[in-house]
Homo-oligomer: A and B are copies of this chain.
Amino acid sequence: MNPNLPNIGIDFGGTSIKLAVVKNGELITEIERIDTQAFDGPDALLDEIVREVKQFQEQFPAISAIGIGVPGTVDFEEGRTNNLTNVKGWTSVPLRDLMVEKTGLPTVVENDANCMAYAEWACGAAQPFQNAVCVTLGTGVGGGLILNGALYRGATYAAGEIGQMSIDYDGVEGPYGNTGCLERYIGNRQIAELGAKIYAEHGEEVPGELSPARLAELAGKGDHCAQETWQRVATYLGANLMSIIYLLNPEAIIIGGGVSYAGDLLFEPLQKRLRESLTPECFDALKVVHARYGNTAGIIGSAALATDLFCADC
C-alpha cells in the first residue's frame, strides 16, 4: 500500500457523522460533522455526505478511495449495512454501491469497532503485532481482532463483540439474553452505578454526579471508594481478557475508548490480575497497551482500510 495517498475516512455515528481526509495515519483536514438525526432516512443523509466528500475532492484531487465505519454489523462482501444502532431506516442499505455511484470513488464499508482496531493495527499501537485484540471502553464495550496479520471478521462479519461476552454464567443479563454480558458491568453508566454502590457500601456520601472521568479524578486524589471502583472494573475486564488470551494467545491487548483514560488506575490492577491468572507462557508473550487513537480512530481506520484495499498499486 501507499499510505502517503490522501483518502477519506468517515465515522458514521448515531449522533454525528464525522469525515476527514487522512494521510499516513494522520488527519490532514479538520473534521467535518453532519448531524445524523437531522436527516430523514438514507437518501437525504447520503446526499449530505456526498456534498462533504466533493468538497474534500476539490481540495485534494489525489483522493482515490473512501472508508466508512458504521455502528452495526455489515455484509462486508456486499458493502451493505445490516442494521445501524440508533439510526432508523438503515436496514440492509447498499451503502458501498450508493457511495460508489454518487462519488465515483471506490468505497469500503466496515463495522466501526473493526475500523478502530484497523487504525491501531495499520498505523497505531497494534502495528508491530500479528495477533492483537483491540478493546474499546465507552458507553458500550466494543472490540476488533487482528489475527495472523489481518482483520478477522468471522462467518457473518460479526466477530469481535467483546462487550457481549459473558463474565458470569449466572450474572446480569445483556441485551440478547446473554447472561453475564461484560458491557453491563463496565459500560460508562455501569461504572458510575458501581461507584455509587461502593460509596454506599462504605457508608460514604457520593461526591456529586459520578462518571468514569469523575471517578478517575477522585481516585487520582486518593479517594479509596473511587479506587476500589477501578479495582472492581479491572476484576471484570480482567476475567474477560484472561478468557480471550487463553483462547487466542495474542501478542497484545490494545485498550482504547474513554474509560481507558483512567490510565494506571485501571491498567495496574488489570496487569496484576492477568499476571496472576495466566500461564507464564501466555503472560510473558503479552503486552497490554493503550490505544494510540482516541476519537479519531474510526476516521483513521476506515481511511486506512480503504487505502490498503484500493491503493495497493497506487
Taking Cβ atoms with an 8 Å cutoff, the residues of A that contact B are: 73, 82, 130-131, 143, 145, 147-148, 150, 152-162, 164-171, 174, 176-180, 235-236, 238-240, 242-244, 246-251, 276-279, 281-282, 285-286
Contacts and interface: CB of A to CB of B under 8 A. Distances in A.
Contact of A158 (B145, B236, B249, B276): B249
Which residue among A143, A160, A176 has the maximum number of chain B CB atoms within 10 Å of its CB? A176
A239 B179 contact: yes
Contact of A281 (B156, B250, B281): B156
Given A176-B278, A279-B176, A249 B159 contact: yes
Contacts of A248: 145, 152, 154, 159, 247
Per CB-CB distance, the 6 closest pairs between chain A and chain B, nearest first, are A154-B249, A169-B239, A165-B243, A159-B249, A161-B246, A164-B246
Nearest to A237: B169
Given A166-B240, A176-B278, 14 more contacts: A131-B154, A145-B248, A155-B249, A155-B285, A156-B249, A156-B285, A164-B279, A166-B167, A166-B243, A169-B235, A174-B277, A179-B239, A179-B277, A180-B239
What is the total number of copies of this protein in its complex?
2
Contacts of A169: 167-168, 235-236, 238-240
Given A176-B278, A247-B165, A249-B157, A148 B145 contact: no
Interface majority SS (helix, strand, loop, mixed), chain A: loop
A246 B148 contact: no
5 contacts: A82-B281, A156-B249, A158-B249, A162-B246, A179-B239
